[in-house]
Structure 1
Amino acid sequence: MNRQLNVGFMNNYSDGLLPENDLHRKIIHIDMDAFYASVETRDHPNLRNKALVIGQDPRQNHGHGVVATANYVARKYGVHSAMPSIKAFRLVPKSKLVFMKPDFAKYRRVSAEIHEMMHEVTDVVESIALDEAYLDVTENKMGQDSTVQIAIDLQNRIRKEVGLNCSFGATYNKFLAKMGSEYSKPFGRTVILPSEARGFLARQKISRFHGIGPKTEQRLAELGVYTGQGLQQMHVRELIKHFNRMGYQMAEHANGIDLSPVVPDDERNRKSIGVERTYEPCVYNEQTALTNIRNYVNEVAKKLQELNLFASTVVLKIRNNDFETVTKRQKLEHATNNPLDIYESARDLFNPLSESFLNDGIRLLGVTATDFTEAEFENIALDLFSN
């Protein structure tokens, strides 16, 4: 993927408002396939044809528990992460179903082994979770010009030496790379050339755009937008009118633009600011839980503003009456210290967990802001926001 001219990226509706694209970078996103479940299947081959669910068995836990992940056999029955375990139990034939408690110490060891392989390719590795990372291989330790060959070699090495499958997206920016790795799982290989980016994005459903949640998807549907093509056809000003700053980023992404760099792990600010509270008695009311989350967000945002810090990631921690703890994180579209942005993210993390945890009783809730960066602002004229 050599440097190419920025041709074909500015549609008729941008009026030159979108930034000039950067096509010279070589970015890979590696995403392990059903990571926790795949590790267990590797270590227990007798589970290979079973519907393996990583999480508490509701039959042994008073009907409680949440799915951490599931293998692809279980997913064929509709099981997915964050689903109440009791629902997974009802979806899968009992002769096929196996529940297994997660072994996070083992998963961290396996993840470290995989990340070591990534660092043998490039030092510019940004870990997102135990099972995924971005690599900038524009300059790499292999002396290899082909981004695709680097990705294939790494994928094959992980399969051979670790015994696990992963998928990758190879392209020129982070947004497209992540979209590519999710495009053809499992063991997927998606290459998106600059000349193909807008066409690829035009065909994607809005739900596949990272950062667009169910509520934003619904609002876009009300505007008649269901695919990337619909976003491409909307004027940038119109998107900003309806979605403010997020609308501008939607326009960027729909046109294959993402200028955010891959930030190496050793350069990332790992400090965090958070608030958590333990309840006695437990919380069973959704509105009470959301109010508490909002209060914690306000405390976190106030501290961020006092220190002039901007957070890129929001983390929600929740524990039920059986002391089962789940921690979920979400990367924000923009670094922020705005309480409304942080609350929206925390609420989105809470919603899929709320039913099962409220039924059990919430013993602890916490909100943390992390991955601090300096604020980055677009040079947008003020009249961009006018009617």
Structure 2
Amino acid sequence: MSSDLQFPEPYNNVSRKIIHVDMDAFFSSVEERDNPSLKGKPVIIAKHPRKTGGKGIVATANYEARKFGIHSAMSAYEAYERCPEGIFIEGNYPAYKEASEQILQIMRKITDYVEPMSIDEAYLDVTNNKLQIDSATVVAKHLQRQIYKETRLTSSAGVSYNKFIAKIASDQNKPAGLTVIPPEKAVDFLRELPIEKFHGIGPKTTFRMHELGIYYGEDLYQLDQMDLVRYFGKAGMSYYRKIRGIDNKPLSLTRNRKSVGKEHTYFSNLFSEDEVKRELMRLSKEVQAALERHGKKGKTVVLKVRYNSFETITRRISNATDFKSADKIYQLGQKLYDEIGETDQGIRLLGLTVSNITEVENEQMKLF
């Protein structure tokens, strides 16, 4: 598949040295560290569904629990069905936050160029670093050792020349792994990956790519820019760059987060109220999980609806008090949808965002 019209080839900056650090099963690891009797047992960070009437979702689970197929954002009830012997813990956010801040201090002893992405992951640009070590691999090993020495927590790291590849690399050898992808090996590494392993390609896009016969990076690599734009719109340009290992985005060093949101584009438009309700609940749970990861709560819900005609409508509603529960997010989002929603046209995108957010401080965080 090809076209006579082509975009100019994008520039690839391979001069940087980027590390992505992802703490291993962070919340449950903190719990195991502080309560050694939990080691070797399946630990699930969520309220026990017997206490909530089956409501709530999993924040995270340790590796023993993941052997049962339990993962974050799964309903706590399903987690219980999969692993009745699992140990459900509501969570101790102050302890998680303290550990996270300790880890950031360790990182900043190495470089000032640190971009925290959530409570348990961050990027570091170590092209020039305070240790005056040229090898980013050596720096990453030093960082992992120091994190464990000072916190007794393990981390996995990915090292490469950009954020996109470093992020994928950090997930390759968990837990306590280190994966290094130099520029000369980047494209071969990406071409061998299943498409669902690409950061930024979610389940819906994966399904669409599978429909098009795109299962591995190699399949994506064979498509030219015009093909990808035709299939995926503006995102097609991003996929073209990513499969070629191109991601020149700098680290963002000032992250004063003002909102937390999730949105999904549907390749098959939504035409029924039941579909919309299911998607709004799914989005609500994803936003709740994100709020918990960032230690935030908010007062305002913003609903975004894009129709098949590409007409896009956004509406917002505020609550009298702060909230962070999926039920409240869903309730407010559904109220907004009842005012503006119209399935006859076909809905191609839904989004929910919580804004007017503040930090959860000085309280025991009741995770889900």
Report the TM-score range of the alignment, normalised by the length of the smaller protein: 0.7 to 0.9
Partner of 2:239: 250
CA 1:90 to 1:273, structure 2 compared with 1: closer, same or farther past 3 Å? Answer: closer
Task: Give the C-alpha shift of residue 172 in structure 1.
Answer: 0.1
Contact 1:58 1:85 (8 Å CA) reproduced: yes
Q: 1 CA distance for matches of 2:260 and 2:28?
A: 32
Partner of 1:47: 38
CA deviations 1:65-99 (Å, max 9, x no partner) are: 211000000001110001111111111252xx100
Segments of 5+ residues of structure 2 without an aligned counterpart are: 262-272, 295-303, 313-324, 334-351, 357-368
Say whether residues 1:121 and 2:107 are aligned partners: no
Say whether residues 1:84 and 2:75 are aligned partners: yes
Task: Give the C-alpha shift of residue 105 in structure 1.
Answer: 1.5
> Which of these residues, 165, 170, 174, is aligned with residue 185 of structure 1?
174
Aligned residue identity for 1:229: E
- What is the correspondence of 1:1-387 to structure 2 with a 5 Å cutoff? 17-94=8-85, 97-264=86-253, 267-272=254-259, 287-288=276-277, 316-317=287-288, 327=292, 340=306, 362-365=330-333, 367-368=353-354
Contact 1:14 1:236 (8 Å CA) reproduced: no
CA deviations 1:353-380 (Å, max 9, x no partner) are: xxx967x99545561479xxxxxxxxxx
| TM-score, normalised with respect to structure 1 | 0.70
Aligned residue identity for 2:51: Q
Contact 2:170 2:179 (8 Å CA) reproduced: yes
Identity %: 41
CA 1:357 to 1:131, structure 2 compared with 1: closer, same or farther past 3 Å? Answer: closer
CA 1:196 to 1:98, structure 2 compared with 1: closer, same or farther past 3 Å? Answer: same
RMSD across aligned C-alpha pairs, in angstroms?
A: 3.4
Residue aligned with 2:37, SS: helix
Q: 1 CA distance for matches of 2:184 and 2:145?
A: 27
Aligned residue identity for 1:44: N
Task: Give the C-alpha shift of residue 100 in structure 1.
Answer: 0.3
Q: 2 CA distance for matches of 1:362 and 1:169?
A: 36
Aligned residue identity for 2:56: G
Segments of 5+ residues of structure 1 without an aligned counterpart are: 1-12, 275-283, 297-314, 319-324, 330-337, 344-355, 371-387
Contact 1:293 1:367 (8 Å CA) reproduced: no
Task: Give the C-alpha shift of residue 195 in structure 1.
Answer: 0.7
Task: Give the C-alpha shift of residue 17 in structure 1.
Answer: 2.9
Q: How many residues align?
A: 300
Contact 2:158 2:166 (8 Å CA) reproduced: yes
Q: 2 CA distance for matches of 1:78 and 1:64?
A: 19
CA deviations 1:210-230 (Å, max 9, x no partner) are: 111111111111111001111
Partner of 1:375: none
Residue aligned with 1:56, SS: coil
Aligned residue identity for 1:367: T
Q: 1 CA distance for matches of 2:70 and 2:282?
A: 28
Residue aligned with 1:121, SS: coil
Q: 1 CA distance for matches of 2:42 and 2:260?
A: 39
Task: Give the C-alpha shift of residue 199 in structure 1.
Answer: 0.7
